Amino acid sequence: MYTKILLTVAIAASSLLASDLLVDAKKAGLKPIPSDEKELLKLIDNPKNPITPEKVELGKKLYFDPRLSKSGFISCNSCHNLSEGGDDGIPAAIGHLWTANPHHLNSPTVYNAVFFTSQFWDGRDPHLEAQAQGPIQAAPEMSATPEHVVATVTSMPEYVEDFKVAYGKDVKITFAKVADTIATFERTLVTPSAYDDFLNGKEDALTKAQKDGLKTFIDKGCTTCHNDIALGGKMNVFNITGTYKYQNVGDFRGDKNGMVKVPTLRNITQTAPYFHNGQIWELKDAIKEMGRIQLGADISDKEAASIEEFLKALDGRKADIILPQLPASTSKTPKPDIN
């Protein structure tokens, strides 16, 4: 009887602590991916180009099609690999003619990018639709022209029919329409996690170590930058209380105000190397460096390990993505150009 009473008290205390942590998390600006599909759709949909199954499936084909690139070898998935963290796992993105990004910029993950208020490291575009046009045209990336993209897509009757099904029989296939369709697919790349389950009210979704790590994460001030649904994705000043020790690798210094897009922490265990120039490989080292240069905090090994344990709870549930079968090229399809 006495043991049962103690057990009941312990469970009640644990539940109370979890509730307090939940309150603290919400006060810190942390928000979950909604568990309700209708509520989620409100967040990820684009009213100007509503999500439909037909657009998503067509967007997926275009996302995986390397023929949109000048070389015929590089697709969106080359740098944003959906088989792992939605990035490429190397310090600087590699593009056309095996060219490393001239600014030594690391490829951000495409997973959950729909929740970002800023796209690109310098935040120059707010929406995925605008972002999707950039890498296709960038010389060190896919190095294609809008004309090449339109000629490629319209050369294949299956693609032409797919666009009619997705947009109506009178659709005009333009470069912007192709990018919009890719973005529609990207809008669906959302990965809810145990962390979201916890914030949505499931108190046992996190382990004790993960809850402790979340508390450390909040107490240390990490939520100053890593907040809202994406735990990042907004612009913030970089090098606030110190200078990043690899600042001189590459010439990127942020936008004109020294602002840099805060990377999402979702699936962070899968997106090494870290920082805009991909110079730190160990998550614990990235945590300590962020504390030093952004918070003026000396994060101990124990605290870094605690935060890292919490970050593991951000590994999301990814939908199974079946590799699409692409239309066959025709005599009108532009030939690969590796020059």
CA dist 303 and 148 (Å) reads: 51
Report, as residue numbers or ranges, the catalytic residues.
Answer: 141
Radius of gyration over alpha carbons of the chain, in Å? Answer: 22
CA dist 34 and 197 (Å) reads: 9
| E strand or H helix that includes residue 237 | strand 235-237
DSSP H helices in the chain: 2-27, 37-44, 53-64, 76-79, 128-137, 146-154, 157-167, 175-186, 194-199, 208-219, 283-290, 301-311
Q: Are 166 and 110 in contact (CB under 8 A)?
A: no
Place of tokens 């101990």: 300
88 Cβ contact partners less than 8 Å away, ≥ 6 residues apart: 78, 79, 80, 81, 94, 107
CA dist 303 and 313 (Å) reads: 16
Nearest to residue 299, comparing CAs of 207, 221, 212?
221
Q: Are 251 and 103 in contact (CB under 8 A)?
A: yes
